[in-house]
Chain A
Amino acid sequence: MKVTFKIWRQENTDAQGELKAYEVDGLSEDMSFLEALDHLNEILVLKDEKVIAFEHDCREGICGQCGVFINGRAHGPHNNTTTCQLHMRSFKEGDTIVVEPWRASSFPIVKDLVVDRSAFDRIIQQGGYITAKTGTAAEANAILVSKEVSDSAMDAAACIGCGACVATCKNASAALFTAAKINHLNKLPQGQPEAHRRLLDMTAQMEFENFGSCTFTGACEIECPADISISNIAEMNARYVKAKLFG
Chain B
Amino acid sequence: MFFRKSIVAATGLFLCIFLIVHLSANAILLLPETTARELYNSYSTALRENLFITLIAYLLYISIILHVVYAAIITFRNTKSKGEKYKVNHNNKNSTWMSQNMGFLGVFILLFIVVHLANFWAKIKLGIGEDVGVDVNGNVDVYEVTSFLFHNMYFMLFYSVLMIPLGFHLYHGLKSAFMTLGFYHKKGLRLLAKISLAYAIIMSVGFGIIPLFVYFK
A160 within 8 A of B: no
A83 within 8 A of B: no
Number of A-B contacts (CB under 8 A): 137
| Residues of chain B lying within 8 A (CB to CB) of residue A214 | 5, 180
In the bound complex, what is the Cα–Cα distance between A194 and B74 (angstroms)? 30
Chain A contact residues, majority secondary structure: mixed
A131 within 8 A of B: no
Most buried by A among B88, B178, B183: B88
Q: Are A216 and B182 in contact (CB-based, < 8 A)?
A: no
Interface set, chain A 43-86, CB cutoff 8 A to B: 69, 71-73, 77, 79
In the bound complex, what is the Cα–Cα distance between A222 and B183 (angstroms)? 20
- Chain B minimum-CB-distance residue to A175: B1
Known contacts A219-B95, A231-B189; A104/B81 CB under 8 A? yes
A203 within 8 A of B: yes
Identify which of B77, B80, B93, B179 contacts A216 (C-beta below 8 A): B179
| Residues of chain A lying within 8 A (CB to CB) of residue B180 | 214, 216, 234, 237
| Residues of chain A lying within 8 A (CB to CB) of residue B99 | 215-218
- Chain B minimum-CB-distance residue to A207: B1
Give the size of the chain A interface in residues (CB under 8 angstroms). 49
Q: Are A231 and B184 in contact (CB-based, < 8 A)?
A: yes
- Chain A minimum-CB-distance residue to B4: A213
Interface set, chain B 94-128, CB cutoff 8 A to A: 94-96, 99-100, 102
CB proximity of A221 to chain B, nearest CB, Å:
8
| Proximity string of chain B (62-98) to chain A, C-beta cutoff 8 Å, 1 when within and 0 when not | 0000000000001001101111111111110111100
CB proximity of B107 to chain A, nearest CB, Å:
16
In the bound complex, what is the Cα–Cα distance between A239 and B99 (angstroms)? 24
Most buried by B among A168, A169, A212: A212
| Residues of chain B lying within 8 A (CB to CB) of residue A73 | 90, 93-94
Give the size of the chain B interface in residues (CB under 8 angstroms). 40
B26 within 8 A of A: no
B186 within 8 A of A: yes
B204 within 8 A of A: no
In the bound complex, what is the Cα–Cα distance between A235 and B184 (angstroms)? 5
CB proximity of B3 to chain A, nearest CB, Å:
8
In the bound complex, what is the Cα–Cα distance between A232 and B189 (angstroms)? 12
CB proximity of A37 to chain B, nearest CB, Å:
17
B154 within 8 A of A: no
Most buried by A among B85, B90, B102, B184: B184
Q: Are A241 and B186 in contact (CB-based, < 8 A)?
A: no
- Chain B minimum-CB-distance residue to A170: B100
Q: Are A104 and B91 in contact (CB-based, < 8 A)?
A: no
B: which residues have CB within 8 A of A? 1-2, 4-6, 74, 77-78, 80-91, 93-96, 99-100, 102, 172, 175-176, 178-186, 189
4 cross-chain pairs, A with B, having the tightest CB-CB distances, nearest first: A238-B182, A72-B90, A212-B81, A171-B78
Task: List 10 extra interface pairs beyond A72-B88, A203-B2, A241-B2, CB under 8 A.
Answer: A69-B88, A210-B81, A213-B2, A213-B78, A215-B99, A216-B175, A231-B186, A234-B178, A234-B179, A241-B181
25 sample A-B contacts, Cβ–Cβ < 8 Å, listed by A number: A8-B87, A19-B87, A69-B88, A72-B86, A79-B94, A103-B84, A104-B83, A170-B82, A170-B100, A207-B1, A212-B81, A213-B2, A214-B5, A214-B180, A215-B5, A215-B102, A216-B99, A217-B91, A222-B94, A234-B178, A234-B182, A237-B181, A238-B181, A239-B182, A241-B2
